[in-house]
Chain A
Amino acid sequence: MKILVAEDEPILIRTIEVRLKKDGHELCLATDGQQAMDRMTDFVPDMVITDIMMPYASGLEIISFARQQEKRKIPIIILSSMGQEDVVLEAFKLGADDYITKPFSPNELSVRVRRLLSV
């Protein structure tokens, strides 16, 4: 499956990349919000994993953009920090399917991705 990962922390994006590639997914990585939206047009992902707080465009903007662009509904997982409950709720309103709070376990993320892609 093709997954777009938008995350600005190098250690996180590298770890997610290793884990999801090991699971057999094709990845497209973006280190800021604008880059994620630019790549979404030509990559056409089956799933989006996005951080909330990112430079140039936030995760919420990415969710809105993804929902406007998509031809079929794709699952979206958001990565949020502790104490961002309001933002998480806003993300769900915009159409996010699941969220994971940082710090998180890469194995847990892998399981959530598998579960959402199999639905």
Chain B
Amino acid sequence: MLQLPLHVSTLVPNPHYLLLAMAVVVGTLSLIIAFMLIYLLWKNQQGRKQKEWQQQLAVALQRAIYFETPENSPPVIPLTFRTIRLLKKPAFRQLMIDELLQAKKAFTGTAADNLVTLFHQLRLDELSLQKLRSRKWHLKARGIQELAVMHQQQHTKRIYRLTNAHHELVRMEAQSAIVQLHGFEGLRFLDIVDHPISEWQQIKLLRLLSRTPGALPENTDRWLSSPNDSVVIFALKLVAEHQQQLLHGQVATCLDHPHPLVRLQAVRCLKDIYTDDTSAVLEKAYDAQTLACKLAILETLGHIGSENNCIFLSQQLVHPDNSLKLAAARALVKTGGKGLQCLQEYPQAYMYPLNEIIQQAKTEHTV
């Protein structure tokens, strides 16, 4: 018989260890399968429970949507015994809030009013307030959203405090909520906000206000001199959107603002609320502006200007920057007869690059 050296024989597997390894593998596999089965059963049970809850909620919501308030008695929307019992579970209450919110966004009139009544009747606002008190920003934001959609004006004070919150998303939700709850009056948060209002948030607020009946508050001009630059920019957008010609003077002073973006927005605003003085104001402010602002002024003059601006616009054709030359040529073309004459008679009109710039401006105008 072949005698293996000692060091080689130690490498031959011992049947005892092989069995042990197999037992470990089989045991682990069994555990995994058992875990998977239990998980699937639990998931299935959760799915069935969720489906049953949603059926209960669907019935409750339909009852609320078509509820007719009886005369001489407070509105109390009837709910099934099972729904009332399920409402003791926090998860069901949250699902109820989610469904109510979705339904409230879909309907108007009595149906929407009834959904708010049900929210109030079940004291679901307390759950939203709990979220508002949470230290987690996403819960705070969710709570604010719930109260705003369900039109819970009685909690305005708490939401208003958050319009200047440190966390940007909480702040954004609170600002939108205040506008949703109080329309144009809600804009008073602009008096206290220290943090910048992002471009996205400004679009969101303008969109909300476009669906809101009413007009800008009389004291809108105070936001034009706010120490917060983003408030000034937003106020300028509001003035333009709502055609506040009376604020022309205050808007014109924004052309001297230290922040270039405020000055740019002021030019855009003046384009929308222009008067007979606007072009003279813009000409006067021109030299101190940035390139973007100068381009905006030339574009505005093309839009609102007249033959009186032709000399000023012709002077800009000598600027070394071709984009300014093109903007001035475009403005001259737009001002009409005299503007075109100024372009033709300009001493370097037939020299490169002005000849091509003038041709480009003319072609754009005819197209």
Contact = CB atoms under 8 A, between A and B. Distances in A.
Interface stretch (A12-20, A61-69, A86-94): A12-20
A43 interface: no
Binding site of A, secondary structure by majority: helix, strand, loop or mixed?
helix
A22 B110 CA distance: 17
A106 B211 contact: no
Give the interface size class of chain B: 10 to 19
A9 interface: yes
B211 A108 contact: no
Interface string A67-89: 00000000000000010000000
Contacts of B66: 18-19, 22, 106
A9 B104 CA distance: 13
Given A19-B66, A82-B211, A106-B65, A11 B102 contact: yes
B150 to A, nearest CB: 14
Contact of A108 (B58, B61, B99, B109): B109
B106 A103 contact: yes
Contacts of B111: 15, 105-107
Chain B interface mostly: helix
Contact of B106 (A12, A18, A19, A108): A12
Nearest to B61: A11
Interface residues of A, number: 17
A104 B106 CA distance: 7
Nearest to A102: B106
Interface in B103-118: 103, 105-112
A77 B175 CA distance: 36
Contacts of A19: 66
B46 interface: no
A105 B110 contact: yes
A102 B111 CA distance: 13
Contact of B62 (A14, A82, A103): A14
Interface of B: 58, 61-62, 65-66, 99, 102-103, 105-112, 211
